[in-house]
Each structure stands twice: as C-alpha cells, then as structure tokens.
Copies of this chain bind each other. A is one copy, B any other.
Amino acid sequence: MEVEYQYGEEMSSPARITLDHGSGGLISQELISNLFLKYLRCPQLKHLEDCALLEGFSGQLAFSTDSYVVDPLFFPGGDIGKLAVHGTINDLAMRGGRPIALSLALIMEEGFELAKLEQLIISVAECSEAAGVAVVTGDTKVVPRGKADGIFINTTGIGRVANRVFISGTNARPGDVVLLSGTLADHGITIMTAQAGLEVGGDLKSDTQPLHRLVAALLDEAEDGIHVLRDPTRGGLATTLCEIARSSAVEIEIDEEHLPIRPAVATACELIGLDPLYLANEGKCIVICDPEVQEQALAGMRGMAEGADAVCIGRVLEGRPGRANLRTRIGGRRLLEPLAGQPLPRIC
C-alpha cells in the first residue's frame, strides 16, 4: 500500500503534517513508528496500545495535567516540548510526588513542518530521559489549517507520594518561613520580549527545568517541616502567594530586598513596564516551611544546580488571612493583589 508521507525524503518544499497524519490509519502509524518511537524509547509505547499499563503501585498517587500553548514554540532556553515535560513533572513534585510516567498528547495544525515536529519530539525525549520520567502513552490529532497554531501539547503525569507526605497550598502556618529556589521572572520576560520582537540585550532565557530532584532532596533533608511547595508559573510569585495566603487563611509577607532577580531581567522588566513579581517562572519553587528546618532546606537546595540561588524571601503571619504583602526596600509595605487578567506591558 502506498503512503504519501515519506519522512526524510528530499523534497522541494519542507515536509508537512497533513490531515492524514491524524486519521488513525496507516499514515498516522507511520508517523508514530518513524518519528515518535525513534526518539521516545519506552517499551510501553512500542505496542501501540491506546493505554499503558504500569506495574507495582502502592500508596498515594499524584495526578496532574497541563496543556502548553506557548508562542513562540522555540525560545531562548527551551521550547514547547521541554516546557511540557518539565511543567508536568514540576506540578507532580509540588505535591511531594516522585514522577514516574507521562502521557503526551499533540494537537497539530495541518501544514506544521515535520522538521519542527522532529525537533520537538527530540526535545521531549531528551528532557524525559534526563529527568528519568518516561512518556508511556500518547495521542496525536491533526486539525485543518487555520484551526490551531502550529502545535499544542498536553502532558499529564502520575507520581508516587509517600503515604505520610501531605504537602498542600492549604498548609502554610503562622511562623513559617518562605523560601524561593532561585531567580524570578526569567521565563516570563523571555517569552514576552520574544513575542514583542524586542531585542532588549542582556542574557534573557527561560528557566525551564525539572524540580523533582530538588524536591526529593528537600524532603530527604526536612520532610516533616515542609508545609507548602508551589511553582509560581502563570501569574508569577505574587499571584501564587495570594493563592496560598487564601488557601491557608494566613498573611504572607515578603521582602523586596531579598528577591533574587537577574540584572538583565530587571532591566528588561523596567524597560517594557512589567512587574517581575507577576511574570511566569518555569523552574522555580516556593517552599513554605517550619523555621526549624530553614537552614537544612536552604542548604539542601543550594547544593543542587537547580536551587543554587535559593534564599529566604519572607514569612507567614497570622495577620489578615488571604493577604500577601511586599516590604519595600525603603521600608514601605505594598499589598500584593493577585493578577486579574493578562500582564500587559505599560502602554504610556
């Protein structure tokens, strides 16, 4: 049987995704076998079942889903594939989960370049291998030209959570300290300047990285004292702290002078009028813990590349439940409101 799709063949125009790639027929299977299975080498995937079986479970299970629609698909420091693997690993890790498997579901627009798809699958495969978390099941859909934007990726993950562990945004307690694993706003400012086509100079790149090993180290060091873990993605540090303050019915106070922000990021934020407290991070983690374990927790994070810049940025107060405040450098106090809609560059 002849198929129209001949991956890798020299062609005058670049090979592209067609609706046939999403039909569930031979051409879909060719794409899966020739491209996905070439890079994603999990034995589970080979059988082309619609569902993976995973063995030897016991205890609590962490379960998290996220769709990735970032524009541009490739950006300094990463791409949508990398983001999709790391983002879901991090969501699992933030509940104390040890990630064990990911699903990968692609929605592609007819006409999407196969070379770009290959680049993204390589990226997914490399990140998943480096993180030790296999893609065990997947799905591919194709929609007509103009009905999507290149490619959207959903990853959903499962992880094991030790039965005694209960880490949650509801667990912050007055007296706790607020730690941050590294610098702020790197991902958000990178994407926003790329979208705007701005060359702001300096070394801007996404901080996308997996945090499950950092979390494992933290739990090893100081499990009983860790109350909340949260990665400040969409909405940034400020919005995430507001959510925790509300969920835990506490007040949270952070110190402007302790917030780690790279000079290039600070300059770019200043230039286009964005507040780094509201920009997304894709490889950072807020840790709210008992002050007794603060030093172990900081030492544990600083001992790893992904937490080298970890610092204490604030504290949890009884105060007024649901509020988050910033103590400014000059000693003032600014109420942090959760982001309402989109963070917009200043217009005038």
Chain A interface (Cβ within 8 Å of chain B)? 1-4, 18-20, 23-29, 47-69, 71, 91-92, 94-95, 97, 101, 103-107, 136-139, 141, 143, 146-149, 152, 154, 156, 158, 161, 166, 168-170, 230-231, 233-235, 239, 243, 247, 280, 337-343
Which residue, of A26, A138, A234, has the highest number of chain B Cβ atoms within 10 A? Answer: A26
Also in contact, A51 and B62, with CB within 8 A (given A24-B239, A337-B1, A340-B26): yes
Query: Which residues on B sit within 8 Å (CB–CB) of A341?
Result: 4, 18-20, 23, 25-27
Interface of A: prevailing SS: mixed
Given contacts A57-B59, A337-B1, contact A97 B51 (CB under 8 A): yes
- Contacts A24-B239, A71-B147 supplied; 17 other A-B pairs, CB < 8 Å: A3-B340, A20-B340, A23-B339, A24-B280, A25-B342, A29-B338, A47-B169, A49-B169, A50-B230, A52-B62, A53-B166, A54-B62, A54-B63, A63-B103, A65-B156, A107-B107, A148-B149
Residues of B with C-beta under 8 A to A64: 50-52, 103, 137
23 contacts between A and B (CB under 8 A): A1-B340, A2-B340, A19-B341, A23-B340, A23-B343, A24-B280, A26-B341, A50-B91, A50-B94, A51-B63, A51-B97, A53-B62, A53-B161, A54-B61, A58-B58, A64-B103, A65-B104, A67-B107, A67-B139, A67-B141, A71-B143, A147-B149, A148-B148
